[in-house]
Structure formats: structure tokens, C-alpha cells
Amino acid sequence: ISKYIIKEINMRNHISYRSGNPALQTSTFKNSTDTTQGHMTLEGTINKVSISLLVLMFTAMYTWNNPSYPIMIFGAIGGFCVALLTIFKKHLATYTTLIYAALEGLFLGGISQYYAQQFDGIVGQAIFLTFAIFVALLFAYKTKIIAPTENFKLGVFAATAGIGVLYLISFIMSFFGSGLPIMNPMNSSLFSIGFSIFVVVIASLNLVLDFDFIEAGAENGAPKYMEWYGAFGLLITLVWLYLEILKLLAKLQSRR
């Protein structure tokens, strides 16, 4: 649920900007004027993303090989708290992004081990699909196959917000017995599978908006620490996409 609780850059060529990613919103670059340490670059952001993913995978391997429910929950709650801190205190992203990656890794390693015990080979498939989608959409964005127009951004933003509302409702319902059936990874109905496919598509399209948002920051001379913040925002989307692919694959295998 934290992925849904956690882009108007008021800059040239990006006056009216929206994104479903809570870390990359209209106010992200507002008041980000401290450029004493240099300016944000695409290469620098890519390097930060790579380092963050390495940290995430390292801690994920720990809980994968040493399953622990308390550690997994600590990672989930701790990651959520660090994400909120980073969103409200963007200049701290230089320090908090790697902490967030490490905590999310603890959670993802544990939850991945749970799925692996239920469904053979599902984790490897989910990892491959997540990175395949990332590379494919990055290529589509750079070659202008997909152009993030204002209508495109608005549509993705609205769909993401709608999904967030559904997940919030399901989270609240879980306190009274069970959440929405379509959220259950074991629900193999066609409607539930269709919903998961829709969520995976929307999560994937958020990557396009993240690419556009990060490129806008680099082109308009955002401060250097925003490289870490851009990496943080992209990491949120990748974690969300991976989890949704896991759920979709679980539902598909449950039909066998």
C-alpha cells in the first residue's frame, strides 16, 4: 500500500506536468536551486540508479537466503518511512536513497522467497520481465516511439491514482477480514488477472514519465543532489512494477 501513498515542473517546456509516481510530482524541482555542488546530469542519475539497484539486490539476497518475517516487515515499514522523509526533504536523498534501497531489498527478498515457495520459477521470471520492460520502454522513450504528451501524462496519472484508491480500500478492508478479492495473488479468475495486467501496464507507463521527468531536470539544471532523488523516484516505480508482475505471474500459475 505504501507504493500508492508514497511530476507540473514549472520550467520551460514542462509547464503542466503530471506523474503517477509520488516521488516525482509537480513540486519536485520547486525551490531546488542549490547548485553549489554542480548540476544534475543524465549520466549521473543513471550511475545513482545502478548503485541503488546493486544495494537493493545485495540486501534482497540476504533475506532470500535467510527468510525472516520480522526483518521483511522491518524492511517494508522502514522503507516506507524513509521514502516519506525523502519526499518531504529532497536534499537528504543523497543519504536516504541507498538506505531506502537497502530496506526495500530486505522486504523484496523475503516476499520473493514466499512466492518462490508457492510457485516454482516465478521470481526469475518476474526479475527478467521487470528489467526487460525497463529496457524496452527506455528504448521506446529515447527513440520517440512513445511520446509523453500532456494527455498521455494525464491518463497515466489518473489511472495510477485510481489504482492507489483501490489498494487503499483493500488495505482498510483487510482490518475487517479480507481485502478486495482482485488483490489476492491466489485469485486466478479472469477478472482478477485482467486487473493485474492493467496494473502492470500502468506501472510500466509510469517509467516513461519518470524518464521524461529526470531528463527535464537534467536539461533545466537541477541541483546535483537531484540525481539521487531521481534515482529514488525511479526505484519506487521499479519496485512497484516488480511486485505487480509477481502477483500477475502467481495468478496465472494458479490457473494451472
Instruction: For 82-138, write each residue's pLDDT tens digit.
Output: 999 999 999 999 999 999 999 999 999 999 999 999 999 999 999 999 999 999 999
For the chain, give the percent of residues with pLDDT over 90.
Answer: 68
Q: Return the pLDDT at 147.
A: 85
Q: Return the pLDDT at 16.
A: 39
- Please, what is the average pLDDT of the chain? 87
Whole-model pTM?
Answer: 0.85
Cβ neighbours, 10 Å, residue 178 = 11
Q: Return the pLDDT at 23.
A: 58
Mean pLDDT over 71-81 rounds to 96
Examine the pLDDT at 8 and tell me if it is beyond 90: no
Q: SS3 of 152, please?
A: helix
Q: SS3 of 223, please?
A: strand
Element of type H or E holding 256: none
**CA 244 to chain centroid:** 10
pLDDT tens track for 10-24: 333 333 344 556 555
User: Could you write out the three-class secondary structure of 87-131?
Assistant: HHCHHHHHHHHHHHHHHHHHHHHHHHHHHHHHCCCHHHHHHHHHH
User: In the numeric block, which cell numbers belong to residue 162?
Assistant: 485510481
Q: SS3 of 186, please?
A: coil
> Angle of helix 190-219 relative to helix 42-65, nearest 10 degrees?
140
Examine the pLDDT at 32 and tell me if it is beyond 90: no
Examine the pLDDT at 78 and tell me if it is beyond 90: yes
pLDDT tens track for 206-236: 999 999 989 988 888 889 999 999 999 999 9
Q: SS3 of 146, please?
A: coil
Closest CA to 65 of 113, 120, 128, 117: 113
